[in-house]
């Protein structure tokens, strides 16, 4: 399938999911690391923006993989879905890592004003004028499409950090500005992992032969990359906190406040829940001090509008798109308890905390099961996947 656009409505995301499901097995496992270019057929689904905003859910992806290939046949695809949940859980258990990233990012941004050499180097990279053909092409692709193949993201981050010697936080901030699937956990922690800060002493090094092989020969940066760097120093991560409890839902009718982190309201509340009002907020521009690209803002706007329309249809009520400043008026107008999907650590959670309106947070079974297990590295988490399959999607760990 050509990645010629990313669905911003649930109906289109489900159609892409159905079309890709037959390729979640061996095709994905053997081709997922190869990036043949934006105009060539890909072995990956292109569903990451839809999953990030939960136009489709992780459970739906995994259920399709199991139905088409079984747990063994779709092992690699299923693991990639769980990687997203692992990252979110890791950050939810250690929210200080997000705060530390933002503080370091702000210091690095401030240094651009006083360090002319750094400023020129960053401007050269942002312009795609480094002379490293693969990096410059990925910069253009990021700006034009709002997406990069996962392997290209790793190469890009490694070159940014180790070859160009630029602050990792500014690269992470660049991705948040431009990626349609950008989220606080996957983005921050992936950049930390490439840098060698997430797992002590383990960093990801972009190598010319690997890039040549996995771009089908499109690029060959032989002699252009730093291929023997040391990982960036970092203190060990803090101990995980206890995950806060979700709120109990009241017995009577409620108001539902949606946001960009979870746009599948049809499956959020228990059967029979009565919803008397529906609203939504979206604050994608707060993901970075520089805001976000118009493409990202437009994608979020359209995805939230789709979620609102489906919620209105499901509950037979009028739905409103709200600014954060309008939520208190909206809440007072209907007088109902306001429930909202749990927003993981990030800009949406910060916006919700600043509304000045009591909110009851609903945590999905998927997140309640996965997040508490993200206390160590992914490979320890991976051992729990067979049990999670049986618990969450009715599948088994057997092939």
172-185 pLDDT per residue, tens? 999 999 999 999 99
Task: Give the residue range(s) of CATH 1.10.579.10 domains in the chain.
Answer: 96-214
Task: Give the residue range(s) of CATH 3.40.50 domains in the chain.
Answer: 254-362
Q: What percent of the chain has pLDDT over 90?
A: 94
Can you name the residues that pair with 247 across neighbouring β-strands?
A: none
Q: What is the pLDDT of residues 9-19, one digit of tens each?
A: 999 999 999 99
Q: What is the pLDDT of residues 38-79, one digit of tens each?
A: 888 889 999 999 999 999 999 999 999 999 999 999 999 999
Can you name the residues that pair with 259 across neighbouring β-strands?
A: 262
Residue 223 tokens read as: 């002699």
Residues 254-362, CATH architecture: 3-Layer(aba) Sandwich (3.40)
The whole-number pLDDT of residue 1 equals 32
Instruction: Please tell me whether the overall predicted TM-score, pTM, comes out greater than 0.85 for this model.
Output: yes
Residues 96-214, CATH architecture: Orthogonal Bundle (1.10)
């Amino acid at each position: 399938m050509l990645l010629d656009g990313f669905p911003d409505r649930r109906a289109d995301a489900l159609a892409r999911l159905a079309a890709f499901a037959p390729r979640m097995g061996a095709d994905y496992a053997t081709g997922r690391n190869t990036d043949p270019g934006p105009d060539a057929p890909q072995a990956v689904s292109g569903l990451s923006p839809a999953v990030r905003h939960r136009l489709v859910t992780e459970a739906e992806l995994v259920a399709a993989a199991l139905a088409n290939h079984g747990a063994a046949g779709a092992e690699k695809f299923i693991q990639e879905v769980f990687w997203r949940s692992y990252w979110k859980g890791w950050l939810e258990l250690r929210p200080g890592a997000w705060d530390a990233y933002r503080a370091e990012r702000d210091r690095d941004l401030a240094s651009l004003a006083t360090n002319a050499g750094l400023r020129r180097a960053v401007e050269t990279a942002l312009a795609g004028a480094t002379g490293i053909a693969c990096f410059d092409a990925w910069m253009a692709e990021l700006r034009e499409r709002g997406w990069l193949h996962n392997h290209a993201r790793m190469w890009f981050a490694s070159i940014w950090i180790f070859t160009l010697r630029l602050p990792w936080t500014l690269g992470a901030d660049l991705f948040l500005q431009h990626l349609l699937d950008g989220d606080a956990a996957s983005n921050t922690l992936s950049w930390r992992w490439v840098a060698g800060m997430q797992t002590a002493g383990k960093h990801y090094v972009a190598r010319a032969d690997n890039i040549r092989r996995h771009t089908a020969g499109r690029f060959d940066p032989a002699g252009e990359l730093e291929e023997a760097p040391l990982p960036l120093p970092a203190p060990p991560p803090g101990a995980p906190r206890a995950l806060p409890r979700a709120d109990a839902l009241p017995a009577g009718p409620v108001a539902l406040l949606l946001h960009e982190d979870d746009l599948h309201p049809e499956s959020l509340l228990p059967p029979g829940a009565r919803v008397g009002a529906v609203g939504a907020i979206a604050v994608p521009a707060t993901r970075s001090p520089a805001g976000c690209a118009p493409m990202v803002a437009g994608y979020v706007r359209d995805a939230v509008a789709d979620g609102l329309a489906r919620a209105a249809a499901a509950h037979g009520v009028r739905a409103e798109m709200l600014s954060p400043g309008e939520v208190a008026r909206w809440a007072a107008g209907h007088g109902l308890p306001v429930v909202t999907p749990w927003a993981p650590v990030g800009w949406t959670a910060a916006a919700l905390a600043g509304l000045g309106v009591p909110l009851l947070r609903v945590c999905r079974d998927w997140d309640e099961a996965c997040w508490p297990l993200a206390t160590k590295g992914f490979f320890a988490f991976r051992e729990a996947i067979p049990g999670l399959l049986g618990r969450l999607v009715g599948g088994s760990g057997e092939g």
